[in-house]
Structure 1
Amino acid sequence: MSEQHLWPTQLDQAGRALAAESAHYAALGWMRGTSGNLSVVLGRNPLRLAVTASGMDKAELTPRDVVVVDEHGAAVPGQPGPARRPSAEAGLHARIARVAGAGAVVHVHALAPVIAAEHWPLGVALRDLEMLKGLGRGAHDDEVTIPVIANGQDMRVLGDAFEAGFRADTPALIVARHGLYVWGDDLYQARHRAECLDWLLRFVVATRTGHAHLAAGNGDAVVLSERGTS
């Protein structure tokens, strides 16, 4: 049986989940306009993902507003639904799914990660914060650095930058002056991680003015904790 025969059932389930999750992020203000995209893995041999369609209001997606893409983020032939096009960023989704082994990837435009990356473009480091448990890390004595990469329009270049700094225990990436990527085993784990990380980065941004050396913006990865900095 060809893979196309499996898509209608898989896509209906994936499309419903992607539409519901997109509406959730849109309500948070993380997918303004038509920005952002979500994906879930349909299969790995070959790699296939269902990705939210490009150019559509993410608060109003239907289960049919998804596109099946390959390991490069390109739409595969024989789409069972209406003609839709994937975002160019689907290529980075596919790269993350392949390298990290993720089952779902979330790309949102929450503000706190972008502001944090502006202050610490070499990486945003955190430790001794209870919410780190939401990333699968320790609440104490466990330093987590969220990588930051430069923005660009070539997903191969962004993918190379992601892969160069990838750590299996850090399921997130900030693209400077752009947005946040978070991944997990499924959309729900990815959402929980995204929500926890937004809190952590809000903490960094909100408290930086209380530490004079953080305001210097020297680009170093800075460790910020509930007990202070180190």
Structure 2
Amino acid sequence: MSTVNYEKEHPRVLIPELCKQFYSNGWVTGTGGGISIKYKDQIFIAPSGVQKERMEPEDLFVQDVNGEDVQCPPPEKQFTKSQCTPIFMCSYIERQAGAVIHTHSPDVVKLSLLNPENEVRISGLEMIKGIYNEEQGRFYNNDEDVIIPIIENSKFERDLVETFQQALKKYPATSAVLVRNHGMYVWGKDWKTAKTQCECYDYCFNILVFKKTNNI
């Protein structure tokens, strides 16, 4: 257990705290999913293959904006960097994100199965107002449509980078990308914005799944 006292907004405090919350939400079960936060000129990344609800401050990987490792967990822990890292970095570079969340939310996966198309459309829901339109530089109004791209899954997440980048170009307004049968990536200017949007997306997706499965 780390004995260093970090400020409460430091990623080494925030990431374990948020991962514990995401675990309770059912978003990061089975060691899957993760989060990355940019802090000053460094990027903090949750490790791969660990019990997210038991993560400690010292367990994080830290790299610079060029992707070079700056700090790693203690060697005896034998942790590896999150497999999400290439997508995290793509979000930082392509969208100037301040934080990126990757969830394995059941509603996200259900929706991708129920939606054979390459996108999801949300309309008529109040929680749309918590989603950021990156093209317009503002949050959506509740009378607007939010369109989120779906890309196909692959064996390794590093192989998703090309289609992820293509989705960002095709959907300049989006602040999220769904990966079919897998999960979702959501980003924001900081961790609060990314977290808020993740909650709003998941709420809306839960409603969409209900509507589709009940033919409403």
- TM-score over 0.5 for the alignment? yes
Q: Does 1:14 align with 2:11?
A: yes
Q: Does 1:193 align with 2:189?
A: no
> Match of 2:193, as an amino acid?
Q
**Could you say which residue in structure 1 is the equivalent of 2:106?**
111
Q: Distance in 2 between matches of 1:159 and 1:137?
A: 27
TM-score under structure 1 length normalisation: 0.78
> Match of 1:67, as an amino acid?
F
Q: Distance in 2 between matches of 1:163 and 1:81?
A: 30
**Deviation of residue 189 (structure 1)?**
1.4
- Cα distance, 1:80–1:36 mapped onto 2, change above 3 Å: closer
**Could you say which residue in structure 1 is the equivalent of 2:209?**
205
**Could you say which residue in structure 2 is the equivalent of 1:225?**
none
**Could you say which residue in structure 2 is the equivalent of 1:68?**
62
Contact 2:167 / 2:177 at 8 angstroms: preserved in 1?
Answer: no
Runs ≥4 residues deviating over 6 A: none
**Could you say which residue in structure 2 is the equivalent of 1:218?**
none
Deviations 1:82-130 (A, max 9, x none): 2342122111111111111110000011111111111224111111211
Q: Distance in 1 between matches of 2:114 and 2:213?
A: 11
Q: Distance in 2 between matches of 1:72 and 1:180?
A: 24
What stretches of structure 1 of length at least 5 have no aligned partner?
A: 1-7, 212-227
**Deviation of residue 41 (structure 1)?**
1.3
**Deviation of residue 169 (structure 1)?**
2.6
**Could you say which residue in structure 2 is the equivalent of 1:223?**
none
Q: What's the RMSD between the two structures over aligned residues?
A: 2.3
**Deviation of residue 173 (structure 1)?**
0.9
Q: Does 1:58 align with 2:52?
A: yes
**Could you say which residue in structure 2 is the equivalent of 1:222?**
none
- Cα distance, 1:129–1:42 mapped onto 2, change above 3 Å: same
- Which has the greater radius of gyration? 1
Q: Distance in 2 between matches of 1:145 and 1:165?
A: 11
Contact 1:71 / 1:95 at 8 angstroms: preserved in 2?
Answer: no
Between the aligned residues of both structures, percent identity stands at 28
Q: What SS does the aligned partner of 1:203 have?
A: helix
Q: Does 1:128 align with 2:132?
A: no
Deviations 1:199-230 (A, max 9, x none): 1001111011343xxxxxxxxxxxxxxxx8xx
- Cα distance, 1:188–1:67 mapped onto 2, change above 3 Å: same
Q: How many residues align?
A: 198
